[in-house]
Amino acid sequence: MPILSLDHVQIAIPVASENRARAFYAGILGFTEIEKPPQMAERKSIWFVAGAVNLHLGLEPDFHPAKRAHPAFVVEVLDAILTACDRAGISHKPDTSFNDFRRVHVFDPFGNRLELMERTA
């Protein structure tokens, strides 16, 4: 049975952190929050989209940040994102570039690791 595509990525965040999540994921990374389908309305999560990328943030009562596992997002204007991260006190560190991508790891306000990749050629 072949896998056809990736529908979404879910990242855990602490309970009662939705506003901080919105400030980072929408305000800095540029995702747009979308309404969940009525069948999912009772689930403790917030949903975002950016182009073909669907991101769900699940509220986790016993939250622990993902420090190794991570999604990798291909972005434009990486330097502008990093400047916004600096202004917001969001930590980041460069990683090895390869396959014509500049790569940086950014840690969301909850400590989750995200990889941002920008094409260099």
The whole-angstrom separation of Cα 12 and Cα 10 is 7
- Domains of the chain (ranges; CATH) run 9-119 (3.10.180.10)
* Confidence at residue 121, expressed as pLDDT on a 0 to 100 scale: 80
The whole-angstrom separation of Cα 82 and Cα 16 is 26
Average pLDDT, the chain: 96
**pLDDT tens-digit series, residues 47-93:** 999 999 999 999 999 999 999 999 999 999 999 999 999 999 999 99
* Confidence at residue 50, expressed as pLDDT on a 0 to 100 scale: 97
- Does position 1 have pLDDT exceeding 90, yes or no? no
Contact present, 117 and 75 (Cβ < 8 Å): yes
What is the mean pLDDT of the segment spanning 2-16? 95
Q: Which of 39, 85, 34, 38 is nearest to 55 (CA)?
A: 34
What is the mean pLDDT of the segment spanning 43-47? 96
Share of the chain above pLDDT 70, in %: 99
